[in-house]
Amino acid sequence: MTSDPWTVVTGDDPILATALHAGHELRPEVSALMKLSDADQLREEDPFTDQMVGVAKNSIVVHRSRFEVDINRPRDKAIYRVPSDAWGLDIWSAEPADDLVNASLEVYDSFYEQLGRLCDQVVEAHGHIVVLDIHSYNHRRGGPDAPVDDPELNPEINLGTKTIAASWDDVVSAFTETMSELPFYDDSLDVRTNVKFTGGQMSRWINGRYGDTGCSIAVEIKKIYMDEWSGVLDEDIAASIGRIIEAAADSVREALQQR
């Protein structure tokens, strides 16, 4: 297991990219109680999103699994205690003890303390910060051979922007338009806003804390770049999506320069 729960990279950039659910690791005492199979755990995580944070010079990749502590949920919901917290999955072989839960919540608190310091430093250096909170989501929940979930309700890219202040409309539009307009094979990506997701806890926290000096756009990528049941990556599709996100990040920098 990686010694640190996450890896932080810093550079001269007004953008921070995060992969909060890329991690698969569990503390030994959590793993000992984990009833889920490795494959079931991996299927609900966001594999390979850590490969997409290179679009920014500042990045955070979380290595701990969301099944240990979910950084992107409110603190009182950060530990999945019952199946309804986790897509109906039966997670625990026994009820987690208070000391295990408290240790996981210490990880949660430490993350937000470090996130705040990093964001403050970026704001101090640039006057503002834009966070690209990169996730993925499943769309074949019925099984590996089942039909895909309704595309009308499951865009290829869902941008969560619900809690972003209106003062950021120019930046959000720049990001959205570039994501929507660039070619993706013989077409373009289906990019829509707040259809499947509206943004998680970290985006709410950023948007509430910084207001006119910072915003967080939640970027939810439908798992068209991999097989969500086997875990196999399609490297070409992943690279194509990565290039489009990179171009959209450049559009954000241009919009910031024009302010």
Q: DSSP letters along 19-39, please? A: ETT---B--HHHHTTB-S-HH
Largest alpha-carbon pair distance within the chain? 55
H-helix or E-strand spanning residue 215: strand 214-222
User: Taking a C-beta distance cutoff of 8 angstroms, is the pair 55, 119 a contact?
Assistant: no
**Could you identify the residue written with the tokens 């079931």?**
40
pLDDT of 202 higher than 70: yes
pLDDT above 70 as % of the chain: 99
The length of the chain in residues reads 259
* Residue 96 included in any domain: yes
In a domain, 213, yes or no: yes
Residue 90, pLDDT > 90, answer yes
pLDDT of residue 3: 75
Residues 50/19, Cβ–Cβ less than 8 Å: yes
Encoded tokens for 171: 């930046």
The answer to whether position 197 is within a domain reads: yes
Q: CATH code at 25?
A: 3.40.630.40
User: Between vectors from CA 190 to CA 202 and to CA 172, what angle results, nearest 5°?
Assistant: 45
Q: Using the 8-state DSSP alphabet, how is residue 233 labeled? A: B
Number of domains, the chain:
1
pLDDT digits (tens, 9 = 90+) for 156-186: 999 999 999 999 999 999 999 999 999 999 9
**Residue 119 burial by CB count (10 A; 0-12/13-18/19+): exposed, middle or buried?**
buried
Which residues constitute the domain of residue 121?
A: 6-257
Alpha carbons 110 and 6: distance in angstroms, whole number: 11
Cα angle, residue 85 at apex, residues 63 and 150 outer, rounded to 5°: 90
pLDDT at residue 2, as a whole number: 67
**Is residue 11 in some structural domain?**
yes
Residue 1 lies in a domain: no
Model's pTM, two decimal places?
0.96
Residue 196 located in a structural domain: yes
C-alpha closest to that of 81 among 63, 99, 64, 69? 69
